[in-house]
Structure 1
Amino acid sequence: MGRVRVRQHVNPLSQAYQTPVNPPQWDKIYADMRKPLHMDIGCGWGRFLLSLAQWEPDWNFLGLEIRESLVETAIAQRDEKQIPNLHFLFCNANPSLQPLLDSLPPGILQRVSIQFPDPWFKKRHQKRRVVQPELVADIAHYLSAGGVVFLQSDVEEVAIEMRDRFQEHPAFVLENPQWLPENPLAVATERERLTLDKGEPVYRAVFRKGD
């Protein structure tokens, strides 16, 4: 399938993206709702989850993405591959996370990943970055005890800001004070592979939610 042209960046603060998503009927989405859930925020084309969901069939996977055309492509590929433990939603994670997670069975969210989010380099645009204190608080509330948050970026400034915001929340414990040298997940994103192939660094951190 050829790539369609999509906007590289979408302003998440524009009025068009402030309406929270309507949660789907989860029992019609996943074949087995008893499986733990991994949520990937900003999943892009979804190729990371398309691979990981097949690698880890004992988990359910949910990708959130603000660019609708990417979500449509990801869903089409999921359907073509007939992957029953994977779903994608078109939404702005910041206003949608709380109602979305509130609709899920308690304790089911066990892993969250935020990988290579839009950096929004200009100072006046940095409030558009996805990892805001409110998002961290929502994840802290709904993530199960012992659950994991995995962060990575090829922009050190963005990685530091994400790490610091999770570290500031009392629910989370940073597993390693140094950037992780390797990805702890079984699958790498396309952006990660491209960055490493160019010999450039990737900044990674893992947090665990306390009891």
Structure 2
Amino acid sequence: MLENEANPYLSKTTRLPRKRFYRARAHSNPLSDAHFPVPITPSQVDYSLHFPQLFPSSDQDASSKKIQFADIGCGFGGLLISLSTLFPRTLMIGMELRDKVTEYVKERVLALRIANPGQYQNISVVRTNSMKYIPNYFEKGQLSKMFFLFPDPHFKEKNHRRRVISPHLLDEYAYTLEVGGIIYTITDVEELGAWMKTCLEGHPMFEVLTEEELDVDPVVKLLNSATEEGQKVARNGGQTFKSVYRRIVPKV
């Protein structure tokens, strides 16, 4: 379909999928039931479906390279695209709950692979609810980076339990992150920024990165600019609030 010149879902100039055909509600309720396949264990994640050039057979070697970066609520995939060329040897995946947005990212990645042979083979996307199924996808200490960029603020106090950063969810994120792994968060909502910072500061398995460390981390520069939401905030002259923390061994 992507190679069909008459395909109306593709831009005639860039050959990338057109967002207007994949628009969806800005946010979804992560506590509601959704129907999609979920692996029972991380060993059941079929890497050949996500990275066919790197894993041409579904018979995966247990010692094969694993996904290291996870973009939680990846939206239209802008961060994944930027990270792909910055870390070409690293496997990474976006996790998105909205079906139309997930389909857009799939089509976008496929189009980029076709237009740039040999590139963008290290990124993929899966439709899932990361608040429920993170341990189904990643082993203990598997990830080196996790991203939570412009998550749903869920303003009402009764809906704070839907927030993707919370003390009990940080337990799961700490489980899947290796010691030294980094969790990146950013929002344009000051109250949510304070909430995420408080949750991370209060968790015994995370410590904040210093300003010096942030200055030399190339990923930090992408937090504002790589996503559609970040670009919108920048166009409107909005302020953003970042919290970047390292997974540590808790002090006894």
Range class of TM-score, shorter chain? 0.7 to 0.9
Query: Whole-Å Cα distance in 2 between the matches of residues 107 and 15 of structure 1?
Result: 28
Query: Whole-Å Cα distance in 1 between the matches of residues 176 and 73 of structure 2?
Result: 18
Match of 1:65 in 2: 96
**Where does 1:137-152 land on structure 2 (aligned, <5 Å)?**
137-152=171-186
Q: Does 1:21 align with 2:35?
A: no
2:25 to 1, 4, 7: 7
Contact 1:97/1:135 (8 A) holds in 2: no
Contact 1:148/1:206 (8 A) holds in 2: yes
**1:2-53 CA-partner distances (Å, limit 9, x unpaired):** 2233122211111337x88225223553427436611110101112212221
Please identify the structure whose Cα radius of gyration is greater. 2
**1:55-81 CA-partner distances (Å, limit 9, x unpaired):** 320211110011011111101111111
TM (norm. structure 1) is: 0.86
- 1:49 aligned partner, one-letter code: L
Match of 1:165 in 2: 199
- 2:100 aligned partner, one-letter code: S
Match of 1:203 in 2: 241
Query: Whole-Å Cα distance in 1 between the matches of residues 142 and 219 of structure 2?
Result: 23
**Where does 1:1-211 land on structure 2 (aligned, <5 Å)?**
1-2=17-18, 3=20, 4-16=22-34, 21-22=38-39, 24-26=45-47, 29-30=50-51, 31=54, 33-34=64-65, 37-82=68-113, 83-102=120-139, 107-176=141-210, 184-186=220-222, 188-211=226-249
Query: Whole-Å Cα distance in 2 between the matches of residues 28 and 6 of structure 1?
Result: 25
- 2:245 aligned partner, one-letter code: F
Contact 1:163/1:205 (8 A) holds in 2: yes
Displacement after TM superposition at 1:107 (Å): 3.9
**1:139-160 CA-partner distances (Å, limit 9, x unpaired):** 1112111111111000011111
Contact 1:48/1:190 (8 A) holds in 2: no
Query: Whole-Å Cα distance in 2 between the matches of residues 35 and 57 of structure 1?
Result: 14
Residue-pair matches, total:
205
Displacement after TM superposition at 1:90 (Å): 0.5
Query: Whole-Å Cα distance in 2 between the matches of residues 70 and 129 of structure 1?
Result: 20
Query: Whole-Å Cα distance in 2 between the matches of residues 145 and 92 of structure 1?
Result: 24
TM (norm. structure 2) is: 0.73
Distance 1:205 1:20, change over 3 A: farther
- 1:14 aligned partner, one-letter code: S
Query: Whole-Å Cα distance in 2 between the matches of residues 35 and 24 of structure 1?
Result: 10
Q: Which runs of 5+ in 1 are unaligned?
A: none
- 2:188 aligned partner, one-letter code: D
SS in 2 for 1:147: strand
- 2:208 aligned partner, one-letter code: L
Aligned residues: CA RMSD: 2.5
Percent of aligned pairs with the same residue?
29
Query: Whole-Å Cα distance in 2 between the matches of residues 161 and 92 of structure 1?
Result: 21
**1:168-207 CA-partner distances (Å, limit 9, x unpaired):** 2211101148xx7996144622222221232221101110
